[in-house]
Homo-oligomer: A and B are copies of this chain.
Amino acid sequence: MPSLIIRNADWIVTQNQERDVLRNSSIFIRDGIIREIGKTGSSSADVEIDAKGKIVLPGLINAHTHLSMTLFRGFADDMQLQDWLQKKIWPLEAKLTDEACYLGALLGSAEMIMSGTTSFVDMYFHMEHVAKAVAESGLRGFLSYGVIDLFDPAKAKSEQDNTRKFFDYVQKLDNSRIKFALGPHAPYTCSAEMLLWAKNFAEKNRAILHIHIAETRREQADFQKQHGMRVVEYLDKIGALSKNMLAAHCVWLTKSEVGLLAKAGVGVAHCPVSNMKLASGGVAPLPEMFESGIAVGLGTDGASSNNTLDMFETMKVCALLHKAHRWDPTILNAQKTLDLATIEGARALGVEDEIGSVEVGKRADIILLNSKAPNLAPLHGKDTVISDMVYSASSANVDTTIVDGHVLMQNREIRTFSLEKTLSETQEMALRLVGA
């Protein structure tokens, strides 16, 4: 694998412990690992990227999505959640095929590469075909098969088989960028036995356990009625919490539930755009999560409830939402917001030693933004670069996307697969699915 130098970047936003922002610096990469950072003007490499006029960031981490649902983008909006699921999404999902999920995942991968995301956590169906697309794209994916047993032991058995089958598939794939994850859908769709089985499987295989928790108030009300306790209290009581758990949403939590998650080492995937669009009500208690030490990442959720996979948009909306909600413009500043999309996201996934920052020894998951755009001008200096990345940058400023030292996009041209072919094939597939 060719070595790579990113030469003379105007700014490198490292997201290291000190949150250093470097001026006019270079990055040398060999075997997918960052080897040197600094004034390495004289080093040479097999491949050179001229980063003059560019701003370098760690690749963004999307901590929660359903990639193949990109096929449903824009198909059903402005609806009540239950109508949306029952009348629109579930009937479409029943028609999904291997091929549809492959194409949807490839389309979503294109969008992520072009908007600066390098790693993501997925939960869906037909996961072998999602894995195939993601491997082709070059992205780093933590992929889970979405398990729903509806408290039926027979269904539980077949869902465990499906999970094991996907696990075996990923082992055989032997692609270091494709990681298997557990995917019990939610505490209201999976039995306690299933949640514990998944927990053990995750611990044994050092895998993420991805799950939806407390997205709606109704979920909490139902748990209170059925179990006489709140969702997280229930998960704690049955022993289902663990440090492998990455819990999406976590909107409707009490402070005491936040404490339980923190104690167990659970990570959270906060999805502000999806929560707002579906009008779930409430706002995830991020300041309380920070205070308790929970690692919080940011997710877009699926394109059918967002409707993009754009992490730059998600960062900005996240900061806006919490400032507005708490009447306090300082509650979530630009640096902290960028942290959520990078190093804190990595911590939520338990992979902060590998990705999430531009540091020597880490995997080379890196994006370059072209600063010669009106929305990034003027650039007042080192103290404002982070703010520019969160409040002013657009995903369209991303010029180059690198994962594991592989250049997936340069000059906004995707290199690993044909965007044009993907667009035309997904368009055809989408129309076939909706029967248009």
Contact = CB atoms under 8 A, between A and B. Distances in A.
A385 to B, nearest CB: 8
A430 interface: yes
B107 A73 contact: no
A149 interface: no
A176 to B, nearest CB: 25
B320 A378 contact: no
A278 interface: yes
Copies of this chain in its oligomeric complex: 2
B431 A378 contact: yes
Contacts of A333: 77-78
Nearest to A326: B279
**Interface residues of A: mostly helix, strand, loop or mixed?**
helix
Contacts of A278: 323, 329
Given A317-B320, A378-B430, A394 B391 contact: no
19 contacts: A74-B387, A77-B333, A77-B387, A79-B330, A107-B374, A108-B374, A114-B374, A273-B320, A276-B321, A277-B320, A307-B392, A309-B375, A310-B375, A377-B426, A377-B427, A378-B426, A379-B427, A380-B436, A394-B395
Given A74-B387, A77-B329, 15 more contacts: A74-B384, A77-B387, A77-B391, A107-B377, A276-B324, A277-B323, A279-B328, A307-B388, A308-B375, A378-B427, A379-B427, A380-B434, A381-B436, A394-B394, A395-B396
Interface of A: 71, 73-75, 77-81, 84, 107-108, 110-111, 114-115, 273, 275-281, 283, 303, 306-310, 313, 316-317, 319-321, 323-324, 326-331, 333-334, 372-375, 377-381, 384, 387-388, 391-392, 394-396, 419-420, 422-423, 426-427, 429-431, 434, 436
Q: Which 7 A-B pairs have the closest CB atoms?
A: A396-B396, A378-B430, A276-B320, A276-B324, A111-B374, A78-B333, A281-B327
